[in-house]
Amino acid sequence: MSEHDSTNGNSSNGAPPLKNESEKKRRRPKIVETTTDFFELMELGTKALEQGQISTATQLLEQARKLEPEHPDLLLNLGGAYILSKKFKQAVEILEPLSERQPSNPMVWTNLGAAYLGNPILATDEKQQRAIGAFKIAVALDPKAPNVAYNLGLIFRDRKENDEAIHWFNRALEANPNDKDARNYIEQLSNLDGNEPT
């Protein structure tokens, strides 16, 4: 028998055998880039964010921020990463100053609205009001801003302001006629109020 025979616990290719199924599924930790090039870090962080790798994206974007702390695209993406990782306070701290520097950018207001709202289930009246204000600015700047009218509809539904919720769900349908969720909410809320869906 060779030294890599199965009797000594090694497979025939020389690799140690896997002890159980969980070892097969265990992934190696991702190595975050150690580059010091701002644009490379930002690009890698943005790609990680787009791929749903929120932790990796956050680390890369935080590294990039050390190099260019005021870069608007970086701050917008880092704010988004903080929102997705439920670090709402950190997102607000980045996005509020950015909204003053870029008041005409609907994405800044969209992200700021999401950061203000935080977890919708736990959102206080004050958080809802701040989110409503930011989302309304976003939709005024871009009437078809993705999901903004829908998010406003959800907030007003949670506040039991059904007429206002229906209005915003209708606006969501104007932006995206295929939005089945908005259509369903309009129907549900109209039935509650005894109104016909619009």
- The reply to whether 66 falls in a domain is yes
Quick check: 1 pLDDT over 50? no
The reply to whether 55 falls in a domain is yes
Do residues 106 and 112 make contact, with C-beta atoms less than 8 angstroms apart?
no
Residues 188 and 29: their CA atoms lie apart, in Å, by 45
Structure-token pair, residue 96: 């509020």
Name the residue range of residue 66's domain: 6-145
Q: Which of 9-23, 25-39, 162-176 has the highest mean pLDDT?
A: 162-176
- Look at residue 195 and tell me if it is in a domain: no
Sorting pLDDT into bands at 50, 70 and 90, what band is 14? Answer: very low
19 against 87, higher pLDDT = 87
DSSP 28-94: PPPPPP----HHHHHHHHHHHHHTT-HHHHHHHHHHHHHH-TT-HHHHHHHHHHHHHTT-HHHHHHH
132-152 burial by CB neighbour count: b if 16+ within 10 A, else e? bebbbbbbebbeebebbbbbb
pLDDT in the model for residue 9: 41
Q: How much is the pTM?
A: 0.78
- Report the CATH number at residue 30: 1.25.40.10
C-alpha of 120 from chain center = 13
Residue 152: per-residue pLDDT = 98
Q: Report pLDDT digits (tens) over 163-177.
A: 999 999 999 999 999
Q: What is the mean pLDDT of the chain?
A: 86
- Give the type of residue at 118: G
Confidence class for position 4, pLDDT limits 50, 70, 90: very low
Q: Is residue 198 part of a domain?
A: no
Residue 177 lies in a domain: no
How sure is the predictor about 54, in pLDDT bands with cuts at 50, 70 and 90?
very high
Task: Look at residue 189 and tell me if it is in a domain.
Answer: no
For residue 115, is it within any domain?
yes
Per-residue pLDDT of 138-151, as tens digits, reads 999 999 888 999 99
Domain contains 191: no
**160 by DSSP, 3-state: which?**
coil
Number of domains in the chain: 1
